[in-house]
């Protein structure tokens, strides 16, 4: 059957409205992350948590260096006189590697974890070293004592570093730089040293200021990889990573339009599901208990039900049934405790008790509960 003109117009209106809502969601990305959102984020200057680097960001600003958060959707517009600190532990995409290598080649400096630094050196055509986890005593180029943290990685093999700022006792670089074009890539193998709870230890802060001054006066901290990137709707839609999203949106709209066109065959009715009633479930549980022959199963269920009903009267408690009895009818407190403990003792026995004994324990518990309810 064919859709009426009014219904077709309504379908297209709904699709258009959905598209507009989606574009607005992309457009209004929050500009400033909330404190509770950033607390657990590692490598973010917004985070005051133990793994954040807000203390480093504020320290460099206090020392007179220019600091900025980089939240643009691409690295291609970075200035060659800036130093980019890319501390988040996240892999780099192909386009990101290309933009970062171009930035360094123009004269910029990049500080990154060993994994990212090695990937950039390899993408630049250099014989990249290998990052190796190593626990050792480390020496800085200015002999200042530092605490590098528990997780450290040195760079081993590959092309020799242009400059070494921290090295192990074996002479392997922990923090070192390699030249690419007119700029350099700094592999920082002690990421914990940058974090908020490590900047104030030993001479870590003094070393970081010394390193920052060696790299330049303008420092930019990456917030793209931490999840706090911000961009307008045009930049988002025309950035290559988002073109796939736009393509999928177009495909979804096309499928929706096809589904809303002429139907060649009537829709098959959906057979209603047969729902079981509460009685069916109760009978099934009773059948399971009867087949098992274990009298402890219904007793345990009876005890849990008694505690659950008692909890509705007194709230949270360690022994709800007994405490409810003591509060509602103190004269029955002793009898209620004896009945409940008797049921619990039967349930804990290694072998199932005889039916008569289990029925007697259950009967006493139910009788006590009835007397408590009789006001």
Q: Look at residue 257 in the predicted model and tell me its pLDDT.
A: 65
Length of the chain: 375
Q: Look at residue 141 in the predicted model and tell me its pLDDT.
A: 79
Domain extents in the chain: 30-230, 278-373
Q: Look at residue 127 in the predicted model and tell me its pLDDT.
A: 92
**DSSP H helical ranges for 169-239:** 196-199, 204-215, 233-238
Pick out the chain residues at pLDDT < 50: 1-3, 27-31, 240
CB-based contacts of 40, cutoff 8 Å, min separation 6: 47, 49, 51
CB-based contacts of 75, cutoff 8 Å, min separation 6: 84, 96, 99, 100, 103, 224
Give the whole-angstrom CA distance, residue 227 versus residue 326.
56
pLDDT in tens, 205-241: 999 999 999 999 999 999 888 877 665 555 555 554 5
CB-based contacts of 139, cutoff 8 Å, min separation 6: 166, 167, 168, 169
Assigned CATH for 30-230: 3.40.50
């Amino acid at each position: 059957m064919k859709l009426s003109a009014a219904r077709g117009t309504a379908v297209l209106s709904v699709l258009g409205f959905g598209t507009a809502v989606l574009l607005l969601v992309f457009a209004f990305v929050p500009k400033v992350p909330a404190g509770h959102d950033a607390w657990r984020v590692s490598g973010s200057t917004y985070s005051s948590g133990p793994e954040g680097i807000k203390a480093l960001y504020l320290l460099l600003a206090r020392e007179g260096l220019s600091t900025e958060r980089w939240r643009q959707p691409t690295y291609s517009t970075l200035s060659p006189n800036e130093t980019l600190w890319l501390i988040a532990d996240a892999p780099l995409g192909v386009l990101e590697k290309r933009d970062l290598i171009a930035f360094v080649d123009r004269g910029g400096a990049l500080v990154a974890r060993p994994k990212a630094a090695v990937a950039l050196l390899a993408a630049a055509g250099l014989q990249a070293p290998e990052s190796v986890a190593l626990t050792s005593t480390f020496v800085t180029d200015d002999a200042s004592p530092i605490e590098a943290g528990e997780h450290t990685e040195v760079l081993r093999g590959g092309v020799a570093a242009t400059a070494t700022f921290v090295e192990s006792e074996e002479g392997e670089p922990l923090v070192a730089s390699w030249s690419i074009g007119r700029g350099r890539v700094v592999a920082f193998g002690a990421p914990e040293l940058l974090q908020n709870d490590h900047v104030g230890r030993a001479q870590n802060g003094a070393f970081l200021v010394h390193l920052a001054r060696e790299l330049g006066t303008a420092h930019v901290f990456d917030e793209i990889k931490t999840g706090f990137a911000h961009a307008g709707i045009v930049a988002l839609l025309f950035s290559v990573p988002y073109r796939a999203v736009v393509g999928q949106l177009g495909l979804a709209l096309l499928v929706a339009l096809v589904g809303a066109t002429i139907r060649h065959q009537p829709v098959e009715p959906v057979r209603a599901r047969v729902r079981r009633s509460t009685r069916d479930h109760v009978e099934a549980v009773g059948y399971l208990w009867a087949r098992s022959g274990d009298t402890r199963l219904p007793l345990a269920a009876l005890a849990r039900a008694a505690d659950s009903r008692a909890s509705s009267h007194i709230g949270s408690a360690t022994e709800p049934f007994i405490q409810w009895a003591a509060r509602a009818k103190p004269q029955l407190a002793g009898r209620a405790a004896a009945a409940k403990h008797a049921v619990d003792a039967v349930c804990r026995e290694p072998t199932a008790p005889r039916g008569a004994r289990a029925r007697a324990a259950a009967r006493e518990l139910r009788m006590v509960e009835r007397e408590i309810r009789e006001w």
